Structure 1
């Protein structure tokens, strides 16, 4: 798995480069803060291996729990009170204090509930943000997925944009922080608490009032937790995601990689850290498969941050899918270590000759490091009529070395278009 791009070194490099990307992007913008989320923030996927998940947090707005005094909050902030009577992990937002300066999309999404209260509609908010974020002609919109607005940018970059509001919910975070646990450490627990929460525009699927509900999330805190998993735990997580994608192959996200993340986080919290070492990998993979099978059978898995929320609720699982997947997972558990041969990427790496595979892995890692450097350099390059100045010396050197490495990896005689396509396939 290390040679396939899931080792500790490249994982840490990815995390730092995406954090750097966020800092560079946010230096340009004051009204919205961009946060890389998901597998890219966790350093667990290569450049083109999966979508880039980006969270866009609207500044100047804060959602607070009941009991938080408005006098403790800065005057210029628009404040919404969280009504958590909705399904666990969700809330409705009631306007408590309007700011003089506010987003047009927020104003348009406000509704009168007929009782003198102003509520913020998640459905209307998402409608507005969808229209607002689709003006660029180089962007192709895809069908919404929950609070996410999937986009294809420039014909090659797949992104998931999620717009969010900051959320101050100390009681929820303190309940999480006070649980007895083996992991994370008290220092990491406090860091996760300090990173806070957000709400995104999606209600519980089966709720009568889902168009008015928002989901409470902890993206930055969860990324921090995953980044502090050790090498064995991170690789169990990656392997479980591969099994869902390549073996179970859900058609409508009945099971997601987010379910796998929560299984691994529960594993880490419930067991001493010294039990997670390289030779125990298959034990924990087997344990993760058992937890997944139980979640499918019972249609229940507690959300790691808010255990009252069931991640399998309204998953859309049919009885036929349940029966089939339980049978498949049971067979995989019986196979022991040979289960990894079901995964095409792992199987190809196993049958490859060791020395060429090691050489290829090192070249691939260099290409990815160059690609991440290029990504951030493009942000800092000056713009002329919204076009990047490609004469930048550092950018040119990065691209020269990319072509040099590619030519070492393939036969000569390829055109520039061929190199671009091969580059993407190598980093997929």
Structure 2
């Protein structure tokens, strides 16, 4: 270490400034937390809307705001299934629930338990094994295996209790953790409530809140267990999240630095020797056992050193106690002797060469930035993004994620609604409105994003029903369609224009389309789609500037959602697009992903191609030949040049039909062939090709 008396303070301040610049500051941490709380609220409103008896919780570094762009942290979502009731005492048994008695004895690893199956009608144990998910132990108890929810899902990788879906470029990976709710705070964590460290942290208020949060069991056993398939880990993740929300900015920065050191020097090439959760636990222990006054910006380096010394001790002793359930050793069975020696040496080397090692961290250009802050190199010697650019990046990421989540909720709700009758749909929308009226601020914000799409869909369904009777649109349908117009810059208005087009009101439809096109080119708009797991759209500097300067309300002016028609909206859908609802042959159905591709029974198209397609059709009806050809040219140019299109195969299919109507069969065939290159299966282009060739042969 360096001998200058003030070097630690100078280094601490420089580190704090660098971390502030890359987004670890109070403002962005709070924004990140709010964003994930809003995402959680949207998901839970959707769950309530579709009558699922579960709750989701956003957890981990992303939701805590304790990560950076370069750390590429996972997004963790815990799904709690309320039909289960995990009890510690017979008095907690509930009639009609799937009751399980939590068993912790000499055969279970500390922090883990067995689950004994109980009867749902009376508080007694079940004595007969019901199916393959259970086993009869030596004591005659029927125990639930932890393999209940561990299933191999297409495109998913199983990590312990979580089902991790690997993210595409631009998306973080997501761990979805199924969990069963405990009726009460676990007895093994009760000692923590009375424990008091030097720093008098957590406070009594934090502890009281922790007890009020829900605890879970998740489906994974200890690495040192004799019964790894039977053990369930006790999770106090909501209490831990509350503690993380009560850290100050220096403590958060210390945690971020620990994770950077972990990724750069202790877990090279993506190995997971020491987990970020272990680093978090070490940090919490250090905060508990130090005076709160040391956790200041000018002490950041000293705090980091203290945490590394504590981590080094944990590795040497093969022991890292869970912060709340102390008996649970997070490092039990984690390392071989060789790996332990290697990790211990690496941490020691870092501590002996701390500043030089910090300067070597490449994540978020931390080392380069630190050199500049310490005047080791002149400004401009290295290129890295300014703090303003980083702020704009985070805001853009947040707004795009909010838009994407809005689209996802619409997809999930449509999946639920498309089989319901109109009366049931109205009742469901009434539930959503009630949530808004009685809800908190986050629920009202979620309603603001979610509701317009549902209003538009409901109005379109009403319109489709009346069109089939008398080719008119009822006033009630127009009210609902109007209520949804501000969903985004284009998709709901395009639906309204499509309704007018399908009833022959070409002038009103054309007026709406003209307005959409003017608005579309007044802003740097990007398309958003929740149907596919595609990367997010590429954005311009102007788009990022708007995100950095404006509130989340700007999303409605700078995003264009795809336009979705379910079969109940058939009469509001141009016939060229109706084919998309019948894209799959029996063989194609085999190649669908059951829980992801249900949108393939709908007609879905990107906003901009649909805009130009409708213009082309309307100008054809109005006999405005020049305008018609201009719209066709714009449709072609959009398909060829817009890299952000999500449903390019559908755009090519409707372009091919336009070419057929132009009596250009060769160009039509080319469009359909290009469409098949985009999506070989579940593509109605196969039908269009057969139909086109049949027509050509008939003409010959």
TM-score (norm 1): 0.82
Question: What does residue 151 of structure 1 align with?
Answer: 165
Q: 5+ residue gaps in structure 1?
A: 101-105, 410-414, 421-428
Pairing partner for 2:73 from 46, 50, 58: 50
Structure ranking higher in strand proportion: 1
Alignment of 1:147-296 (within 5 A): 147-152=161-166, 157=171, 158-167=173-182, 168-181=184-197, 182-249=200-267, 252-296=271-315
Tell which deviates more after alignment, 387-396 or 188-197.
387-396
Q: Cα distance 1:408–1:57, how it changes in 2: closer, same or farther (>3 A)?
A: closer
- Displacement of 1:276 after TM fit? 0.5
Q: Cα distance 1:153–1:241, how it changes in 2: closer, same or farther (>3 A)?
A: closer
Contact 2:116/2:143 (CA < 8 Å) preserved in 1? yes
Question: What does residue 133 of structure 2 align with?
Answer: 109
Pairing partner for 1:141 from 156, 167, 175: 156
Question: What does residue 34 of structure 1 align with?
Answer: 56
Q: 1:403 and 2:539 equivalent?
A: yes
Q: Cα distance 1:161–1:112, how it changes in 2: closer, same or farther (>3 A)?
A: same
Contact 2:60/2:74 (CA < 8 Å) preserved in 1? no
Alignment of 1:288-307 (within 5 A): 288-307=307-326
Cα separation, 2, equivalents of 1:324 and 1:80: 43
SS at match of 1:281: helix
Q: 1:368 and 2:391 equivalent?
A: no
Cα separation, 1, equivalents of 2:387 and 2:69: 20
SS at match of 1:363: helix
Q: 1:62 and 2:77 equivalent?
A: no
Q: Cα distance 1:325–1:116, how it changes in 2: closer, same or farther (>3 A)?
A: closer
Q: Which has the larger radius of gyration?
A: 2
Q: Deviations over 1:36-64 (max 9, x none)?
A: 11112212235792221111111121212
Cα separation, 2, equivalents of 1:384 and 1:180: 51
Q: Deviations over 1:141-176 (max 9, x none)?
A: 22x221122113567642111111112234334311
Q: Deviations over 1:1-50 (max 9, x none)?
A: 12212212111111122122112212222322111111122122357922
Contact 1:90/1:213 (CA < 8 Å) preserved in 2? yes
Structure ranking higher in helix proportion: 2
SS at match of 1:33: strand
Contact 2:85/2:93 (CA < 8 Å) preserved in 1? no
Q: 5+ residue gaps in structure 2?
A: 1-18, 123-129, 373-378, 419-449, 457-483, 490-519, 527-537, 546-640, 647-700
Tell which deviates more after alignment, 397-406 or 169-178.
397-406
Contact 1:17/1:376 (CA < 8 Å) preserved in 2? no
- Displacement of 1:394 after TM fit? 4.8
Contact 2:185/2:211 (CA < 8 Å) preserved in 1? no
Q: Deviations over 1:271-313 (max 9, x none)?
A: 2222200011000100111111111111111111111111111
Cα separation, 2, equivalents of 1:295 and 1:364: 37
SS at match of 2:39: helix
Q: Cα distance 1:172–1:113, how it changes in 2: closer, same or farther (>3 A)?
A: closer
